[in-house]
Amino acid sequence: MTTPPPPDSPLHSPRPSPLNAIPFVCPLDGQPLMPGAGSLVCAGGHSFDISARGYINLLPVQFKKSRDPGDSKSMVAARRRVLDAGLFDPLADAVCGLAFEEFAARGQEETLLVDAGCGEGFYTARLAADLRNRMGDAAPKILGADISKWAVMAAAKRSKDLAWVVASNKRLPLVQGTVTGITSLFGFETWPDWAALQRSGQFVLVVDAGPRHLIELREIIYPTLQVHAPPRHEAATANGYELMGETVSRFEASVPNAELLMDLLEMTPHGRKSTGAARDRVAAMTGLSLTLDAVIRKYRRS
């Protein structure tokens, strides 16, 4: 009796991977990666297997700062439940609209959108669906990248027809100058590295928490409320980007039960910062009306 290959084995891959269309470079020597048999390979002999789940890991162990970097499996699961409940849909719609404006202006030009710090893929998948619906074959290629293997595994399960990579935001293994657009939602901005990936005229959309984001929840878990500082632009401008505009996405959402409130707490930095007593207060609630407040900034590479 033949033992079947494990679920993550490249032998399970039934069709050409969306990863084949992405201009990757080898994370070890910087040479272009080319499609192989269920893998991507470089001229230097380095080979990286494409998982049966549809993603690739281009984060060598020597570039990890911990054994299991990024969001944990439980954080990823909590975020998936919250986002799938629709709480952040208006924000996703706003980001999709801004991205469409950028790509529609580029006509039939071949383009690439990278969702840097894609998490479990909710926003990436929404961007892909919206752009394909509006633009058809002219829609950009889309890559979701995250340092958390758990996040990328969940993202690949969500959308099998998109390209997903485990990689650091500071070391995105892509050919320089090939990334038309970058989205970063509630993530870490790495302007020097992004600048190397983009040419003049290409863009970045950054989403940060606004001053009233989740304020009702923060009032419950913190004895003293601190207002989020407004975003700063010095790092972007120092690396050759110009701020083109800001859009505020502020709306109310009703969280119907304590389970989803605890998920919301778990998926944010507030979960790590809150005390046991604060978590108990949240767990005892039957629901809560929340303010979701985000600032979307658009930058252009000069």
What is the per-residue burial (b if ≥16 Cβ within 10 Å, else e) of 14-29?
eeebbbeebbbbbbbe
Is 45 annotated as contributing to ligand binding? no
User: Which residue, among 245, 255, 241, 242, has the nearest Cα to 292 in the 3D structure?
Assistant: 255
Is 110 annotated as contributing to ligand binding? no
Task: Return d(Cα 66, Cα 144) in angstroms, integer.
Answer: 21
Tokens of 107: 């006509």
Is 121 annotated as contributing to ligand binding? yes
| 55: CB partners within 8 A, 6+ apart | 19, 152, 153, 155, 156, 164, 165, 166
The single-letter DSSP state of residue 173 is -
Q: How many CA atoms, within 13 angstroms, populate the side-chain half-sphere of residue 161? A: 5
User: Which residue, among 188, 122, 171, 166, has the nearest Cα to 19 in the 3D structure?
Assistant: 166
What sections of the chain are H helices per DSSP?
73-84, 89-104, 122-135, 149-158, 191-197, 215-221, 234-238, 258-266, 269-273, 276-283
Q: Are 131 and 105 in contact (CB under 8 A)?
A: no
Q: Are 243 and 233 in contact (CB under 8 A)?
A: yes
Is 120 annotated as contributing to ligand binding? yes
Q: What residues form the annotated binding site for S-adenosyl-L-methionine?
A: 88, 120-121, 213
Q: Residues at the annotated binding site for Zn(2+)? A: 42, 46
Residues annotated in a binding site: 42, 46, 88, 120-121, 213
